[in-house]
A = this chain, B = another copy of it.
Amino acid sequence: MLAGKTRSVSSKLLGVIEIFTASDVALSLSDIARKSDLPLATTLRFVREWVAWGGLIRLDDGRYAVGTRLWEVGVQAPSLQSLRNAALPFLDDLLVGTRQNAQLAILQGFETLYVEKISARNSTVLMSRVGMRLPLHATGVGLVLLANSGQNYIDEYLELPLKKYTACTVVDPRQVRQRLASIRVTGFVRAEEELHSGVISLAAPVHDRSGRTVAAISAVVSVEQRNDRSLDMMVRVAGLGVSRALGFRGSRVAP
């Protein structure tokens, strides 16, 4: 957003829609105007354009929420389609093996974006949700994605203030770097109660045909399953399985 400067019509139109996030699912017209930094009349004009197109819907209480049309176009993203198709059977296998939660995430900006999440009935309730972003340093999938990013990206990320979510969140840049180096060797991470207590995330990378890390897969279980080390190998093998389905030919399951 270029608040204060001259903004194009396109940038204003997109500014109105991009403020709808997992934490702001329904917004009033004045919320939208404030968050997108536009006058109320201008906001109303753009909101109406989005409603006419199906990108926004007006709820019974007068607030606005995202309509299904944006999803319909957005889900055509080739990277998402192939990733999702490759990953779903393996996410299913992780669910069968853990009876908890299985997730798939990609990098978006300096955060993880959850692309897929399946949960068993009565599983540990998680903060994550499909379409939600969470911090890289406090999640299993995030650490895996960060570890497999370029050095400049890692340096930039570690210059940001890292939020401490629990007593277990590792926020010291030096310690994070050591951890990332270890992930690069083992192709695996176990994040224990680092985002919220009671929850352990086991994550492994997903590589594409060229070997690039395009996503991370995780099993998210309860701390009571802490001593079940068979879960580690299960997640590593699932990550490699998705990679194989994407055409990856290397071998990354370290002993």
Chain A: residues with CB nearer than 8 A to chain B?
8-11, 13-14, 17-18, 20-22, 25-26, 46, 49, 53, 55, 57, 65-81, 84, 88-89, 92, 95, 106, 108, 113, 118-121, 129-131
Contact = CB atoms under 8 A, between A and B. Distances in A.
Contacts of A74: 66, 68-75
Contact of A25 (B8, B22, B71, B76): B76
Given A49-B11, A72-B108, A66 B78 contact: yes
A187 B87 CA distance: 33
A113 to B, nearest CB: 6
A130 B88 CA distance: 12
Number of copies: 2
Contact of A10 (B9, B79, B92): B9
Contacts of A108: 68-69, 72
Contacts of A106: 68
A57 B76 CA distance: 12
Nearest to A89: B121
Nearest to A120: B89
**Which among A17, A106, A129 has the highest number of chain B CB atoms within 10 Å?**
A17
A66 B79 CA distance: 9
A136 B9 CA distance: 37
**Which among A8, A25, A71 has the highest number of chain B CB atoms within 10 Å?**
A71
